[in-house]
Amino acid sequence: MLGAGDGDEVWGRLAFALGQTRIGVAVWDADDRLVLANARFREMFAEVAPFDGKLRFDVLLERARQARGSAARPDPVGHDSRHRERPATGEFLSFGNRTLRYHDIATPDGGLVTLYEDVTRERSAEATLAALAKTIPGAIFELRRDSLDRIECTYVSERIRELTGLAPERYTADWGEAVREITGVAECAGLEDSLRASARSLEDWHAKLPIRHPEAGQRWLRAQASPRRLEDGTVLWSGMVTDATETVQSNAALAESERRFRDIIDIASDWVWESDADGRITFVSERFTESTGLPTAAFVGRTRAELPFYDRSDPGFHALEEDTRNRRPIHGRRVRFVVPSGHRQISLRGRPVFDEDGDFLGYRGTGTDVTREHEYVQRLHEAMVEAQSANRAKSRFLANMSHDLRTPLNAIMGFSEIMQAEVFGPVGHPRYAEYVRDVRTSASHLLELIDDLLDLARIESGRIEMVEERLVIADIVDEAMMLVAPRCEARGVVLAKTCDIEAPVVRSDRRAVKQILVNLLTNAAKFTERGGSIEVAVEPDRSGGVWVTVRDDGCGIPPAMIDEVTKPFVQGSDPSAAPRDGVGLGLAIVRSLAEAIGAEIRIESQVGEGTSVAFRLPAGRAARAA
């Protein structure tokens, strides 16, 4: 308890303190009249002075309206006479260009003690901060961990509403509950643990967390903050939260793309390589080791000139060096590696890489072990050379055997012809005459086959020399038709010719053109039934060449056989049909002769309707008659 003297001293000190404080103090009675005000209050409300008598609050407001005009009246939060309605704590009062925060303390006699604090600067700073926060892509925040290890949010900008779908007040009211709502209990507990670890170490805090946005669904946020410890042990974090959804999705897509790329590299037969601008290998996939038996370390960090397994005597190596020196694309360049398992043939592909400014960055490409393919091609080439050699030997043999084969046949045909003509008298029994005729017919047929074989052999061996001369194609057609006419008459086949009067004369080998026509006509007669017809047509084309076509209405060629009939010993008739004379050399000779004189062959056929075989002499071998 204070004594009588002590009370005056205390009240004196209290009055001195009230006069010096920066907080305005006003005492109001039960009728809302000003009983006492300190100097700071009088300074704050200087515009409504004098403070004579017991100034009522409503008079104070009226004086303020008169001083500033009706548009500048004080704007207390709530109502002008809020003091009389209920005490307020931490409310704001806009008075002119100032913002005052006031606290009402009710007294036992029904009055009020009001404390006024000028927070204009703080409110201005908060407004500036709020304006800046709107320009930042994320939400800025402040978290606090007190001495009892409790974490709360003391501030978060309005942007948090857009990011999470929850109002800022939800976080400042109960940070943990708001975070659990958007992330879940486990995620919230993990965040709190990481914050406490940051509080202990005072290291920057980073977090990436998935959230459930009430409207946007699954989203990702990234948070980062810097901690600081106050004197009382409290830790404050100042930081920012941003939307990381696109980044997370892009990173996930990139990671998936990289996984697919790695999978493709792992299962591909090729290996992937990269080099820098100095030609040093910077990357080689593991497939390189599987293909060559060499570790990738033998490649990486070294140039080709430093690699011992390149065969420097290989022309492909020097061509590769030339490509890279001139920064040209590498298209299947073959090089030879000398590795422990032997020589390997490698096919390299690559392209130069440049940045946006056009500066050379290096090469990126693939490598393939083509040793087996190379060996197969070599064996195939050797087999082809052997086959060609054997074929030439066969052709030389047949060509050289021409005299030996023809001589006995000529004797057989000559003697059978004499016997058939009964030059030295009757042969006797009529059956002998039939035998002689059969012998002569068989000998003639055999001679035709031998002639075909010899012709084909001479053509393939290159022993036929082509001599170009001016030929009237219509005359060549007539000569060929005359040779085949007896066979057609014997088979009852009509032979006709259609010749365009504009058809040019031809510069070609007479014997070859004539033999082509004879073979085509003979073939047509062979496969045309009695009563059928064969037509030879001659007509120029638009490019200056001339087409000679032999058409028949015979049995036709099956579609599957059209590409085969120009091969030796292949007949184009249906296998189920009756066998035909010959061994299938006629069209093979036609094809070989056509190639020799530069003619083009075209075959069209339909089973049961006939065949059309045409050959074209190009413009360079045709000339108009003068």
Computed over every residue of the chain, the mean pLDDT equals: 81
**Same-domain check for residues 31 and 104:** yes
- Is there a single domain that holds both residue 430 and residue 494? no
pLDDT score at 200: 92
Query: What is the pLDDT at residue 168?
Result: 92
Calculate Rg over the CA atoms of the chain.
56
Q: Is residue 586 very low, low, confident or very high in pLDDT (cuts 50, 70, 90)?
A: confident
- Asked whether the predicted pLDDT for residue 133 surpasses 60, the reply is yes
User: pLDDT category, 78, cuts 50, 70, 90?
Assistant: very low
What's the confidence (pLDDT) of residue 452?
Answer: 67
Q: Is residue 140 part of a domain?
A: yes
Q: Is 263 part of any domain?
A: no
Per-residue pLDDT, 440? 73
**Any domain includes 158:** yes
Predicted local distance difference test score (pLDDT) of residue 178: 93
Q: Is 514 left (phi over 0), alpha (psi -120 to 50) or beta?
A: alpha
Q: Are 139 and 241 in contact (CB under 8 A)?
A: yes
Confidence of residue 499 (pLDDT cuts 50, 70, 90): confident
Q: Is there a contact between 119 and 32 (Cβ–Cβ < 8 Å)?
A: no
Same domain, 431 and 478: no
Check residue 268 and give its pLDDT: 65
Q: Identify the band that residue 594 occupies on the pLDDT scale cut at 50, 70 and 90.
A: confident
| CA–CA distances in Å: residue 68 to residues 80, 81, 102, 368, 495 | 16, 19, 21, 90, 127
Percent of the chain past pLDDT 90, that is, above it, reads: 19
For residue 77, pLDDT over 50 is answered with: no
Q: Which of 79-88, 219-228, 431-440, 443-452 has the lowest mean pLDDT?
A: 79-88
Inside any domain, residue 483: yes
Both 396 and 447 in one domain: the answer is yes
Residue 257 lies in a domain: no
pLDDT at 291 over 90: no
Q: How large is the angle between the packed helices 371-400 and 402-421, nearest 10 degrees?
A: 40
Residues 416, 437 within the same domain? yes
Q: Among the three residues 444, 460, 476, which one is the final residue of a domain in this structure?
A: 460
Residue 220 pLDDT grade (very low, low, confident, very high; cuts 50, 70, 90): very high
Torsion, Cα 332 338 343 349, to 10 degrees, reads: -10
Q: Which residue has the higher pLDDT, 396 or 587?
A: 587
3-class SS of residue 14:
helix
> Do 451 and 471 fall into the same domain?
no
* CATH for 443: 1.10.287
Q: Identify whether the C-beta of residue 102 lies closer than 8 Å to the C-beta of residue 114.
A: yes
Q: Residue 496 pLDDT more than 50? A: yes
The CATH number that applies at residue 312 is 3.30.450.20
Quickly count: other Cβ atoms within 10 Å of residue 312's Cβ. Answer: 11
State whether 326 and 193 are in the same domain: no
Q: What's the pTM value of the predicted model, to 2 decimals?
A: 0.39
Across 425-432, average pLDDT = 78
Task: Name the band, by pLDDT with cuts 50, 70 and 90, for residue 5.
Answer: low
Based on the fold, state whether residues 114 and 127 are members of the same structural domain: no
Mean of pLDDT values over 425-433? 78
Whether 466 contacts 514, CB under 8 Å = no
Predicted local confidence at residue 83, as pLDDT: 43
Mean pLDDT of 454-475: 74
Question: Mean pLDDT over residues 46-71, rounded?
Answer: 75
pLDDT tens-digit series, residues 16-41: 877 778 888 988 898 888 888 888 88
Structure token pair of residue 429: 């029994």
Pairing label, strands 533-540, 505-509: unpaired
Cβ atoms of 326 and 403 within 8 Å: the answer is no
- The span from the CA of 259 to the CA of 255, in Å, is 6
Q: Which tens digits make up the pLDDT trace of 557-576?
A: 888 888 887 777 666 555 55
Least confident of 401-415, 448-462, 474-488: 448-462
Residue 589 has pLDDT above 50, yes or no: yes
Domain count of the fold of the chain = 5
Residues 171 and 216 both lie in one domain: yes
Please check whether residue 5 lies inside any domain of the structure: no
Which of 118, 144, 172 is a domain's end point? 118
Structural element, H or E, at residue 95: strand 89-95
Report if residue 8 sits inside a domain: no
Best-predicted range by mean pLDDT (213-222, 386-395, 411-420): 213-222
- Is residue 124 pLDDT above 80, yes or no? no
Residues 159 and 190 in one domain: yes
3-class secondary structure, 390:
helix
pLDDT at position 445 is 65
CATH number of the domain to which 498 belongs: 3.30.565.10
Of 249, 278, 310, the position where a domain reaches its end is 249
334 occurs within a structural domain: yes
Asked if 491 and 553 sit in the same domain, the reply is yes
Which segments of 316-370 are extended strands (E)? 330-339, 342-354, 360-369
pLDDT of 624 reads: 46
Instruction: Decide if pLDDT at 253 tops 70.
Output: yes
Q: Per-residue confidence at 79, pLDDT binned at 50, 70, 90?
A: very low
What number is the average pLDDT over the span 38-49?
84
Residues 494, 574: one domain? Answer: yes
Structure confidence by residue, pLDDT tens digits, 137-183? 788 899 999 888 889 999 898 889 999 999 999 999 999 999 999 99
Q: Which range marks the domain in which residue 404 is found?
A: 391-460
